[in-house]
Structure formats: structure tokens, C-alpha cells
């Protein structure tokens, strides 16, 4: 699978929080495809040939955690901005 032309900033959650929501969604979709664990005959995920409860491998889980942190930071930032705008009557 070829790597996307998407900035990932070394998967640093703080730097990822500066990305747009659309960019974060593209990164998430790519990571989910690239790091999905294979399934056994019964449809259960395998990691390193052994059964696991994880859908994604360890590297993928780490990347998805950074992306989810960035999403949360963005959401909290928007809520804070809206609260300030409401308190000041929209003069932000």
C-alpha cells in the first residue's frame, strides 16, 4: 500500500491538533486500512499469528490514539471559542 501525501508530523498528537478535521479523518481512514490485523478462519483478529482482542496492530493503535487526541482537542477548542463568543456577544 502506498503512503498518502498527508502530513502526519511524526504522529505527534499536539502537532496533529493543528490539522483540519478533514485531514484528520483522512489520516484515520488510512491508518485503519494500513494497520488492520488479519483475521483467522472464524473471523477473529490475529496479531503476530496469535489471537488478540485488538482490531489494529500496536503501531496502528498508537497512531489512532494520537489522531483521537487531536480530534478531542479540536472539539474542545471549538467549544471554548463558542463559549467566549456567547459571553462577549459575538465580539471575538
Task: List per-residue pLDDT tens for the chain, 92 residues long.
Answer: 555 567 888 899 989 999 999 999 999 999 999 999 999 999 999 999 999 999 999 999 999 999 999 999 999 988 888 888 888 886 65
Q: Are residues 61 and 10 in contact, defined by beta-carbon separation less than 8 angstroms?
A: no
Taking the whole predicted model, whether its pTM rises above 0.75 is answered as yes
Q: Looking at residue 91, what is its pLDDT?
A: 64
Domain boundaries, the chain: 60-85
Spatial distance between the Cα atoms of 30 and 60, rounded to a whole number of angstroms: 10
Q: Looking at residue 9, what is its pLDDT?
A: 84
Amino acid at each position: 500500500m502506498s503512503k498518502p501525501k498527508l502530513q502526519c508530523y511524526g504522529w505527534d498528537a499536539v502537532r496533529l491538533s493543528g490539522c483540519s478535521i478533514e485531514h484528520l479523518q483522512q489520516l484515520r481512514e488510512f491508518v485503519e486500512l494500513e494497520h488492520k490485523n488479519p483475521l483467522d478462519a472464524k473471523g477473529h483478529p490475529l496479531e503476530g499469528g496469535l489471537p488478540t482482542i485488538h482490531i489494529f496492530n500496536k503501531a496502528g493503535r498508537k497512531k489512532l490514539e494520537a489522531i483521537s487526541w487531536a480530534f478531542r482537542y479540536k472539539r474542545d477548542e471549538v467549544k471554548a471559542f463558542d463559549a467566549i463568543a456567547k459571553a462577549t456577544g459575538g465580539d471575538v
